Structure 1
Amino acid sequence: MDYQAVIPEFVVSDIEKSRHFYCDLLGFSVEYERLEEKFLFLSLEDCQLMLEEGSAEELAQLTYPFGRGVNISFGIADVPGLYQKLLEADYPIHRPLIKREFRVENTIIYPQEFAVLDPDGYFLRFTE
């Protein structure tokens, strides 16, 4: 496995609840885990993410939403398919699926994207 240059790590309140959200709903795979540390290393296509259940002391210092001010963007191939899967699971959508327009140097691109909050309130944007 190749590691990306930047890999976010989230402190979560319940590792099993997060595992369900990321793996069962979003389709991430567990690359490896350390059960004794309540730690997961996940991947989805070229995206990687680490999750670790916080201690009681760590969690006492956090308030929902945990990721205030941070927007994590995941570039994946089938954005509409993942969006539909979440709708079918009746998972709350924070920002609906839209086609955006961005200028990248001299080129205009039109990716589709949507956003959800994970169980701890981390803001996740999925984009083409």
Structure 2
Amino acid sequence: MVPELTVTDFTASLYFYTEVLEFQIMVRRSDPEFAYINLGEAQLMLEQYHTEGWNTAELVKPLGRGVNFQIEVDDIKCVLTRVRKHGVPLYRDLSENTYRIGKTEACQREFLVQDPDGYLLRFCQFIE
């Protein structure tokens, strides 16, 4: 599954994802502005809001209410350092959490941040 996020300021969103978070651009096109991006195996699509888009209702910030996108990374401290370097406020600070999965438990370090439109991103690194 690859989520496509409608964004209100494509330039700001692309900067946030590529410069702050270091996603790579896989595909880029214009009219409307669009980018298919990835960070490791995590993939997202960004599309500038336009009236012909798949808009089911008026967009009111924060966008993406009720959903968070978990992005698994190999080095969470590296991502957190970049976020802090750019002065991006954290939604939730770095913590270690354990989740029960059937009869086993998974432990991960994670923090949450919102993108320029308010989409909630949860970066996590599994702990052995």
- TM-score normalised according to structure 2 size: 0.89
For 1:38, the equivalent position in structure 2 comes to 33
Percent identity for Structure 1 against Structure 2: 35
Structure 2 unmatched ranges of 5 or more: none
**More strand, by proportion:** 2
For 2:118, the equivalent position in structure 1 comes to 121
Are the equivalent residues in 1 in contact too, given 2:5–2:47 (CA < 8 A)? yes
Q: 2:19 aligns with which of 24, 28, 50?
A: 24
Between the two proteins, the alignment pairs up a number of residues equal to: 122
Shift of 1:8: 0.3
For 1:72, the equivalent position in structure 2 comes to 69
Shift of 1:62: 0.8
Following TM superposition, the consecutive aligned residue runs of length 4 or more in structure 1 with deviations greater than 4 angstroms are none
For 2:46, the equivalent position in structure 1 comes to 51
- TM-score normalised according to structure 1 size: 0.89
Report SS of the residue matched to 2:64: coil
| Letter of the structure 1 residue corresponding to residue 13 of structure 2 | S
1:12 aligns with 2:16: no
Shift of 1:88: 1.8
Report SS of the residue matched to 1:62: coil
Q: Aligned Cα RMSD in Å?
A: 1.5
For 1:93, the equivalent position in structure 2 comes to 90
> Deviation digits for residues 57-106 of structure 1, max 9, x if unmatched?
85x81110011111111111111211121112211100000010112222
CA distance in 2, matches of 1:65, 1:94: 12
Shift of 1:126: 0.6
CA distance in 2, matches of 1:68, 1:36: 27
Q: 2:79 aligns with which of 77, 82, 105?
A: 82
Structure 1 unmatched ranges of 5 or more: 1-5
CA distance in 2, matches of 1:53, 1:71: 20
